[in-house]
Amino acid sequence: MPSTGQTEDRAVTPAAPGSARARPGVAVAVRLAVVIVVLAVAGGGVWLVTRASAPVAGPTTTDIPALSVKAADVKPGSIVPVSAVAAGGAGEGTAPPADRPPGGDPLDEWAKKVSRTTGIPARALHAYGNAELALRSAEPGCRISWATLAGIGRIESDHGQYGGAVLGADGRPSKPIIGVPLDGSSGVRAISDTDGGRFDGDPVADRAVGPMQFIPGTWRKWASDGNGDGLGDPQQIDDAALAAARYLCTGGRDMATPAGWWSGILSYNNSTEYAQKVFGLADGYAKGAQKAQAG
């Protein structure tokens, strides 16, 4: 849920950072393992989170990433963002890195190149690309794109850099990302505390947390382990990105169709302006990746 608190509860299951090209036999086994893990989490609604990043609820900030993003002049439900270059140049032998065999990570160079043309931190691109690859195996009919996840990540937390945070190599921001209190004040929903302040540091009202801004109660349903460390942490961008991808793909949604794409984004935040902003960002990121590939 966005930092303004105007979205409905949601949760997702993130993928692991980076993906690798494996030998055919290994790739099949890896993909099967990933599908089993992702579906097991999705089906059971298991709360994987066993660690929080010691959040401290701070004062409300006016540094809201979405405010600097212009909404695209496009009619909801009419079109989708341009098709993005597949994460890492992914093919049938590519699998999420949490389960990859020893060797190079094909997302490394891809993330570096795309970062230069899009301005997205390479570490964040890893997370978005990993989530795309995981869902490609688990729910191929969804056709979720890293560019759409990046659009959401930009609006929600400036790719894990909200409030001056720096996204570390481990995929965690240098300080916990905590949204405004959802106390029913002007412009925000009223959601009473559901986690005792464990994830958001607020024992009175819930706050959206992490790079993809999950409400604690929503994270409880969709918690995921995207980086393969055995934990699900809403502050860790691989975990959060996979969770977002799973949430968007729920119910057999096809994110490559106009109806599916707009339905997914509006379920994340029921605001036409929000969806138009994500559209403009995703479209621009996809075109930037095409430029990087051509150059």
Q: What pLDDT shows up at residue 7?
A: 43
Tell me the two tokens of residue 214. 């999950």
Question: Exposure of 245 by Cβ count < 10 A (0-12 exposed, 13-18 middle, 19+ buried)?
Answer: buried
Report how far residue 62's alpha carbon sits from residue 59's, in angstroms, rounded to the nearest whole number: 10
Position 143, amino acid: R
Tell me phi and psi for residue 130, to 5 degrees. Answer: -60, -40
DSSP summary character for residue 70? P
Task: Tell me the mean pLDDT per 10 residues along the chain, length 295.
Answer: 44 33 37 40 40 40 66 96 84 47 72 95 96 95 97 96 94 94 86 89 92 93 93 96 97 97 96 95 95 80
Tell me the two tokens of residue 44. 């059971």
Closest CA to 274 of 59, 38, 34, 70: 70
3 state DSSP class of 178: strand
Residues 6+ away with beta carbon under 8 Å from 196: 203
Report how far residue 221's alpha carbon sits from residue 198's, in angstroms, rounded to the nearest whole number: 15
Tell me the two tokens of residue 294. 């051509």
How many residues would you count in the chain?
A: 295
